[in-house]
């Protein structure tokens, strides 16, 4: 049971001041009666605002098809963000909705967003070896033997002293490859190819763990059950 003003503010309905005004004005019901005292403790499933059940009172997990040109940052100074593609109310939630790892501004594809911080930690920890599949287009032909370099666990990124964990590279065309990683270092795919003298002109993530992006349109999201990764 949570205080009703805290509950509504944490779900992004408004500031504490705003939601108190709604509560005192009789717009909020709990268990079928107007709850006019902001300190009332309530069961979120019993609360109505303007006659409507609460917007996702539990935790959220969303799969987004990230478009190019959006950053995975809450800092407005960094430019348009992936969070701007979500409903405004979700953007005001606290704990905040955060991305599970980051994709670069120009990288497209599968991005998970959640307010369950334990899930972010689990899916991004190298210990758990969650597979991430990327399709990369290069500015030159794939060098001979690059599969072995990536698979051998000896690929060293500029400025780092620990080589990358073994990664799988599958050739799709002369300048196109699918790469599967189990780590998520900063700009890792671009830097792995850079270590072999190749620039990446396009990068797209198609899979994370057992989840495929499928035919989700660019810029769109869909909700996933919060327990999606619980047994995986």
Residue placing its CB nearer to ligand URA in the complex, 42 or 157: 157
In whole angstroms, the minimum distance from the beta carbon of 182 to ligand URA comes to 12
In whole angstroms, the minimum distance from the beta carbon of 103 to ligand URA comes to 4
**Nearest one of 9, 47, 55, 3 to 28, comparing CA atoms:** 47
Distance (Å, whole) CA 55 – CA 67: 26
Query: What SS3 state is found at 223?
Result: strand
For the chain, give me the number of helices (H) and strands (E)? 6, 15
CA 130 to chain centre: 14
Binding mask 36-75 for ligand URA (x = CB under 6 A): ----------------------------------------
* Position among 190, 198, 204, 208 found at the interface with ligand URA (CB under 6 A): 190
Residue placing its CB nearer to ligand URA in the complex, 10 or 188: 188
Binding mask 99-118 for ligand URA (x = CB under 6 A): ----xx--x-----------
In whole angstroms, the minimum distance from the beta carbon of 71 to ligand URA comes to 11
Task: List the catalytic residue out of 21, 37, 55, 104.
Answer: 104
User: Is 124 a residue that touches ligand URA (CB under 6 A)?
Assistant: no
Which own/partner contact pairs does 75-81 have at CB distance under 8 Å and 24+ positions apart?
79/105
Residue placing its CB nearer to ligand URA in the complex, 28 or 155: 155
User: Is 188 a residue that touches ligand URA (CB under 6 A)?
Assistant: yes
Residue placing its CB nearer to ligand URA in the complex, 55 or 202: 202
Residue placing its CB nearer to ligand URA in the complex, 193 or 229: 193
Gyration radius of the chain over CA positions: 22
Max alpha carbon distance in the chain (Å)? 72
How many chain residues bind ligand URA (CB under 6 A)?
8
User: Is 189 a residue that touches ligand URA (CB under 6 A)?
Assistant: yes
- Report the first-to-last Cα separation within the chain, whole angstroms: 31
Antiparallel, parallel or unpaired: β 200-208 and 108-114: parallel
Are the CB atoms for 103 and 63 separated by under 8 Å?
no
Sign of CA dihedral 197, 203, 208, 214: negative
104 as an active site residue: the answer is yes
Map the footprint of ligand URA across residues 192-231, applying CB under 6 A: 203
Bridge partners, 66 (sequence order) = 109
| Positions that interact with ligand URA (CB under 6 A) | 103-104, 107, 187-190, 203
Residues with catalytic roles: 104
């Amino acid at each position: 049971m949570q205080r009703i003003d805290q509950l509504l503010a944490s779900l992004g309905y408004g500031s504490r001041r705003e939601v108190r005004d709604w509560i005192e004005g009789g717009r909020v019901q709990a268990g079928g009666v107007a709850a006019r005292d902001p300190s009332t403790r309530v069961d979120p499933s019993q609360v109505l605002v303007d006659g409507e059940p609460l917007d996702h009172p539990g935790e959220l997990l969303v799969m987004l098809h990230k478009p190019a040109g959006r950053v995975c940052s809450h800092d407005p100074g960094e430019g348009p963000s992936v969070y701007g593609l979500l409903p405004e109310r979700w953007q005001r939630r606290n704990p905040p909705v955060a991305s599970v790892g980051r994709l670069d501004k120009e990288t497209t594809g599968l991005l998970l967003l959640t307010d369950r911080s334990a899930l972010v930690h689990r899916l991004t920890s190298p210990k758990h070896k969650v597979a991430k599949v990327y399709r990369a287009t290069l500015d030159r032909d794939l060098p001979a033997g690059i599969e072995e370099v990536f698979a051998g666990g000896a690929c060293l990124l500029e400025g780092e002293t620990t080589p990358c964990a073994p990664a799988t590279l599958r050739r799709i065309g002369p300048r196109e490859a699918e790469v599967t990683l189990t780590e998520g270092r900063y700009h890792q795919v671009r830097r792995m190819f850079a270590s072999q003298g190749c620039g990446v002109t396009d990068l797209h993530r198609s899979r994370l763990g057992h989840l495929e992006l499928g035919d989700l349109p660019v810029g769109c999201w869909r909700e996933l059950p919060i327990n999606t990764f619980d047994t995986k």
